[in-house]
């Protein structure tokens, strides 16, 4: 392998009380690649993705971002690295008391020291890209779920992160608006944004993932390019999971 | 003996001086008590070591002792401990400490409505816990906690009349002082009750304006 991966996890483990949610996970994310995490509910996908930016603190293991080690036991180290790695949540989590524009400028201003005028200019450009320039001065409550999620994505982008984590970004959305959010994400992928995405949208995974990682019970069961993983899964667990979602998909879409 | 309006007219300037002092003491104490509330709630919610235990102790102490005892402690007790305050500042300190304890609980109640999701979003954007508190949690908590903060502020305003016990010449002091000379009890107490009522209504009106503004983001 040539360059070091942008994100590298080694032996990341996390326990909640007596429950071992993650058993020594190793994962590399190359710069410019899209990694999609799939797996049954409770398999540890959210815990893993949160361990990458310290919303969940791993108990042990090593994490490197852009070549630098992150001291996983120090909050300050996490705070520094979080400006480099953005995150998008299932429930959008826009700040409800701030306008769309202010949601996007407040952290670049306070955390990166970008002057207000410049931050606003950049925010408006990002909003234009996702078709929401006309919503800049609205409050989040005036936006649909899909619109809020697109704002959440460009809010993360406004920090100019090196990578973005997505934890089920379309799971809370109405079916009609899922497409608009996936389109934005596909766009980012085409531009070479490094992304780690937890999702049940297999179509999205097939189309844009460089690698798909299947997790079960806190372990990575298998991983590979989407064609290989969806076309010829090697493990029984993977096959069972994929057929369960396919039949679910057929039930939903007829 | 009939109700003597002419008497009240004659006493009007004195009552207005008392009113002005009541307004000053109360307004200052309301602002300071909200500051105490926000800082104390921050300490509690961010679980600042040691300080958070002190805040719990302070709140319990204030809530479980009579206001008058607190007032006498500040006015007669503190000089003995080497801290000599004027009448005015003794009054402000007493009302601020009293209402501050309740405001801490009010702000904390508001903070509970700020979900874990927003906290995680703020952290994932690189905000420190303190910046999250200042930029997101506190403004949201104040909006939600406004009605209970108003209640505490109204109580503070009414409780400012206790300050007559240490001789601060606020509204109630003026009334009692005149009554002891002129024995016009009905007129005086009727007058100051109406004045207190008007003050409370004004405060409620200001709060409802503020609430309207703070709620703007949540109206469609
Ligand atoms: N904060 C927490 N406290 C206790 N247990 C948790 C916590 N977060 C996750 N878990 C447990 O860890 C396991 C993995 O959860 P999660 O990572 O959310 O799975 P997934 O996202 O794949 O559905 C589950 O059994 C869940 O109950
Ligand atoms: Mg999850």
Got the DSSP string for A8-20?
EEEEEEEEETTEE
Residue B210: CB atoms within 10 A of its CB come to 15
State residue A103's pLDDT score.
96
ipTM, 2 decimals? 0.89
Choose the closest CB to B120 out of A55, A142, A159.
A55
Q: Is the pLDDT of residue A194 over 60?
A: yes
Chain B residues whose CB is inside 8 A of the A107 CB are: 125-127
Q: Among A2-11, A29-38, B201-210, which is the least confidently predicted range?
A: A2-11
State residue B7's pLDDT score.
86
Token reading at B117? 């999701």
Asked if A187 and A118 count as a contact pair (C-beta separation under 8 A), the reply is no
State residue B10's pLDDT score.
86
| CATH C-level class of B12-218 | mainly alpha
Chain A residues whose CB is inside 8 A of the B142 CB are: none
B218 in A contact zone (CB under 8 Å): yes
Q: Is the CB of A248 under 6 A from ligand 1?
A: no
> Which residues does residue B188 pair with via DSSP β-bridges, in sequence order?
none
**Residue pointed to by tokens 């844009």:** A208
Asked if A9 and A52 count as a contact pair (C-beta separation under 8 A), the reply is yes
Query: Considering the entire predicted model, what is its pTM?
Result: 0.84
B180 in A contact zone (CB under 8 Å): no
Q: Is the pLDDT of residue A247 over 90?
A: no
State residue B67's pLDDT score.
96
Domain spans, chain B: 12-218
Q: Is the pLDDT of residue B1 over 80?
A: no
pLDDT classification of A248: cutoffs 50, 70, 90: low
At residue A216, what are phi and psi to the nearest 5 degrees?
-150, 135
What residue's CA is closest to ligand 1, atom 2? A16
State residue A102's pLDDT score.
96
Higher local confidence (pLDDT), A246 or A104: A104
CA gap A150, A158 in Å, rounded: 12
Encode pLDDT of B22-75 as tens digits: 999 999 999 999 999 999 999 998 888 999 999 999 999 999 999 999 999 999
């Amino acid at each position: 392998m040539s360059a070091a991966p942008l994100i590298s996890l080694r032996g990341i483990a996390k326990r909640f009380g007596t429950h071992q949610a993650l058993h020594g996970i190793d994962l590399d994310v190359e710069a410019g690649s899209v990694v999609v995490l799939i797996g049954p509910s409770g398999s540890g996908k959210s815990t893993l993705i949160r361990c990458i930016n310290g919303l969940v603190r791993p108990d042990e293991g090593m994490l490197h971002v852009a070549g630098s080690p992150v001291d996983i036991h120090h909050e300050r180290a996490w705070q520094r690295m979080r400006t480099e790695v953005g995150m998008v949540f299932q429930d959008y989590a826009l700040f409800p008391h701030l306008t769309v524009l202010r949601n996007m400028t407040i952290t670049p201003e306070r955390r990166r020291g970008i002057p207000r005028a410049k931050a606003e200019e950049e925010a408006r450009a990002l909003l234009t890209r996702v078709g929401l320039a006309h919503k800049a001065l609205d409050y989040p409550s005036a936006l649909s779920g899909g619109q809020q999620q697109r704002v959440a994505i460009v809010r993360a982008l406004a920090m100019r992160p090196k990578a973005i984590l997505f934890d089920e970004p379309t799971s809370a959305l109405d079916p009609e608006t899922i497409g608009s959010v996936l389109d934005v994400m596909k766009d980012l992928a085409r531009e070479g944004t490094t992304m780690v995405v937890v999702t049940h949208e297999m179509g999205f995974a097939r189309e844009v993932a460089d690698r798909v990682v299947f997790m079960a019970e806190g372990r990575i069961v298998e991983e590979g390019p989407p064609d290989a993983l969806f076309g010829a899964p090697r493990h029984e667990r993977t096959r069972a999971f994929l057929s369960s979602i396919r039949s679910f998909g057929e039930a939903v879409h007829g | 003996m009939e109700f003597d309006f002419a008497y009240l007219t004659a006493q009007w300037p004195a009552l207005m001086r008392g009113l002005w002092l009541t307004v000053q003491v109360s307004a200052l104490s309301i602002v300071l008590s909200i500051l105490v509330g926000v800082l104390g709630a921050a300490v509690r919610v961010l679980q600042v070591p040691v300080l958070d235990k002190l805040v719990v102790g302070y709140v319990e102490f204030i809530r479980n002792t009579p206001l008058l005892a607190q007032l006498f402690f500040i006015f007669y007790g503190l000089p003995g401990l080497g801290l000599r305050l004027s009448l005015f500042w003794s009054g402000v300190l007493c009302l601020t400490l009293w209402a501050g304890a309740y405001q801490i609980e009010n702000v904390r109640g508001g903070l509970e409505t700020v979900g874990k999701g927003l906290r995680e979003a703020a952290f994932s954007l690189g905000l420190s816990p303190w910046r999250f508190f200042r930029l997101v949690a506190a403004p949201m908590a104040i909006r939600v906690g406004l009605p209970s903060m108003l209640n505490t502020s109204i109580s503070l305003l009414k409780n400012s009349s206790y300050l007559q016990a240490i001789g601060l010449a606020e509204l109630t002091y003026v009334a009692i002082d005149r009554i002891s000379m002129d024995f016009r009890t009905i007129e005086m107490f009727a007058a100051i009750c109406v004045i207190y009522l008007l003050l409370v209504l004004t405060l409620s009106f200001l709060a409802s304006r503020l609430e309207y503004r703070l709620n703007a983001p949540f109206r469609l």
